[in-house]
């Protein structure tokens, strides 16, 4: 810009330039500076021809981030959320399916994501209409109503939303309720369901303004929900109330290998405690350990040929019988290092639940050391972790890499990236937007993590057969939430669980639903 800066000789203060437009002279100076630097011309050639990320990729960074991990879990086949925002569901179910596979000695297993997707639409629609009824006198341009009305049944969510759905509706295997065209590509269905719901909201508010009592408004809402159910059933198909389930366990020759599912320290294997824990739970729960029928079944419900078979079982019965951990036995930790959210407290986000009558999205804000140590502790104990992050930062989807030392946009553009983590969250530059599953970590000679194995839900063509590697630097900067088993928390963090929650507004820059 033109140099119209003025300095007051009395105060020695500098005032802003009077000319606020970009002038032709400014452009000439910018261009001259650009063209005079050989590095700029080389960078432009690379970026224009190949794109920013490819041009910024450091071969040294790729070389220095191997895909070997001295603690890693054996997971099932990679999953694929396709063109939907269900990552939080996939990551949640991938976390639990690991426990199912290793409790029941299965080669592979996948839950039905479509089943929870159906109930998530029903419950989010119900919560939206309930929120409309709770804010009938709120102006439509108020910040609260804008948050409520932003995306009534959008796909995104958190671990706690998964827990709400599983507790109410149970879980089913994928064979009982496969994917549909609209679960794999959800945009059109969600668009029109949102449109219908906003129309319902307008009618409810209009009836209230005309003097309708709450009984009348609730009758209108009940009629609205019947329409929501019809639309969802047409788009996704009605979910099963009972289903048949058959699975074959691995043979005796594989039993030892199945129990040793945590590889540690260069090939040495650490036995997983989850199998014993599951067996203990099964022996303590009659529903999980049916009495033998005519002497052909073992204590765990399988027959002697290694077949698990259920003629007719409900989703809740299935979850309680075959999932060896409860979704409620986890807590969400968050690392949001901002002045407005001191560490060592529980926070709850207003208007954030997806099931009426359940608590809002709640998390414990802890320092990064605490978050990182919890992740290592849980992986070493033989259990994967759900986590949320900003997956757009320093990410190479094709290569399966999350790493600032590999994606050198700073070198490509000749810039310094300005943000510390708290500042990036505060200014909306690095919100959580994607959930995945941690299934491994590499520890250095001092026991500190230097890279992480990440199971994604973008199919086998993303990353290396669906898996990504994240440097610890990236983990510290961009992982914002981690779901940890309560029994594996450190004592100081566990003590925070009994403290009152601090409510925060839904627009505060703490966390965002993951898609």
Q: Other CB atoms closer than 10 Å to residue 514's CB: what's the count?
A: 29
* CA nearest neighbour of 402 among 364, 456, 457: 456
What's the CA gap between 73 and 385, in Å, rounded? 11
* Alpha helices in 177-213, H assignment, sequence order: 181-184, 187-209
Q: Other CB atoms closer than 10 Å to residue 436's CB: what's the count?
A: 27
Give the single-character DSSP code of 265.
T
Say which of 80, 87, 105, 194 is annotated catalytic: 87
- 371-410 in b/e form (b: 16+ CB < 10 A) is bbbbbbbbbbebbbbbbbbbbebbbbbebbbbbbbbbbbe
Say which of 126, 334, 456, 514 is annotated catalytic: 456
Beta bridge partners of 269: 263
Say which of 105, 434, 442, 514 is annotated catalytic: 434
What's the CA gap between 112 and 243, in Å, rounded? 12
φ/ψ of 402, rounded to 5, equals -120, 105
- Establish whether 320 is a catalytic residue: no
Residue 281, token pair as written in the block: 């739970």
What's the CA gap between 186 and 81, in Å, rounded? 10
Map tokens 């088993």 to a residue: 485
Residue 2, token pair as written in the block: 């033109």
Map tokens 């049916």 to a residue: 290
Helix H or strand E segment including 311:
strand 307-313
What's the CA gap between 482 and 442, in Å, rounded? 18
Which residues, including other chains, have CB under 8 Å from residue 126's CB and lie 6 or more apart?
225, 228, 356
Q: Which residues are catalytic?
A: 87, 434, 456
């Amino acid at each position: 810009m033109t140099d119209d800066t003025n300095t007051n000789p009395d105060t020695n203060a500098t005032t802003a330039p009077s000319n606020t437009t970009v002038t032709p002279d400014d452009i000439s100076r910018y261009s001259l500076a650009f063209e005079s630097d050989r590095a700029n011309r080389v960078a432009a050639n690379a970026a224009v021809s190949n794109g920013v990320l490819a041009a910024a990729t450091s071969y040294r960074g790729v070389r220095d981030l191997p895909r070997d991990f001295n603690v890693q879990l054996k997971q099932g086949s990679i999953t694929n959320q396709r063109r939907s925002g269900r990552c939080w569901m996939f990551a949640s179910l991938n976390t639990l399916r690991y426990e199912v596979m290793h409790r029941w000695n299965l080669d592979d297993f996948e839950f039905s994501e479509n089943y929870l997707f159906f109930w998530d639409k029903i419950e989010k629609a119900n919560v939206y209409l309930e929120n409309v009824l709770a804010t009938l006198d709120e102006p439509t341009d108020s910040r609260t109503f804008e948050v409520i009305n932003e995306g009534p049944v959008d796909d995104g969510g958190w671990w706690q939303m998964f827990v709400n759905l599983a507790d109410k509706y149970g879980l089913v295997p994928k064979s009982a309720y496969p994917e549909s065209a609209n679960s794999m590509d959800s945009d059109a269905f969600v668009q029109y369901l949102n449109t219908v719901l906003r129309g319902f909201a307008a009618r409810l508010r209009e009836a209230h303004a005309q003097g309708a009592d709450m009984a009348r408004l609730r009758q209108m809402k009940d009629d609205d929900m019947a329409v929501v159910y019809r639309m969802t059933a047409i788009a996704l198909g009605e979910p099963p109330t009972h289903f048949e389930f058959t699975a074959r366990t691995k043979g005796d020759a594989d039993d030892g290998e199945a129990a040793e599912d945590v590889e540690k320290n260069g090939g040495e294997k650490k036995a997983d405690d989850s199998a014993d824990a599951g067996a203990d739970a099964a022996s303590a729960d009659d529903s999980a350990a049916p009495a033998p029928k005519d002497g052909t079944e073992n204590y765990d419900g399988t027959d002697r040929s290694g077949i698990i078979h259920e003629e007719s079982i409900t989703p809740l019965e299935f979850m309680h019988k075959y999932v060896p951990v409860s979704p409620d036995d986890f807590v969400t930790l968050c690392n949001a290092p901002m002045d407005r959210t001191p560490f060592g407290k529980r926070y709850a986000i207003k208007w954030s639940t997806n099931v009426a009558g359940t608590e809002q999205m709640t998390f414990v804000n802890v320092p990064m050391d605490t978050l990182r140590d919890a992740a290592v502790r849980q992986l070493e104990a033989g259990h994967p972790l759900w986590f949320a992050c900003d997956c757009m930062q320093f990410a190479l989807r094709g290569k399966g890499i999350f790493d600032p030392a590999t994606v050198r946009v700073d070198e490509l553009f000749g810039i310094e990236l300005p943000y510390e983590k708290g500042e990036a969250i505060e200014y909306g530059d690095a919100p959580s937007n994607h959930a995945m599953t941690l299934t491994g970590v590499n520890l250095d000679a001092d026991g500190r993590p230097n890279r992480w194995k990440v199971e994604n839900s973008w199919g086998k063509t993303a990353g290396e057969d669906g898996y990504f590697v994240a440097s610890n630097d990236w983990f510290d900067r961009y992982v914002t939430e981690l779901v940890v088993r309560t029994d594996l928390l450190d004592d100081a963090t566990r003590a925070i669980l009994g403290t009152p929650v601090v409510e925060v507004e839904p627009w505060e820059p703490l966390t965002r639903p993951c898609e």
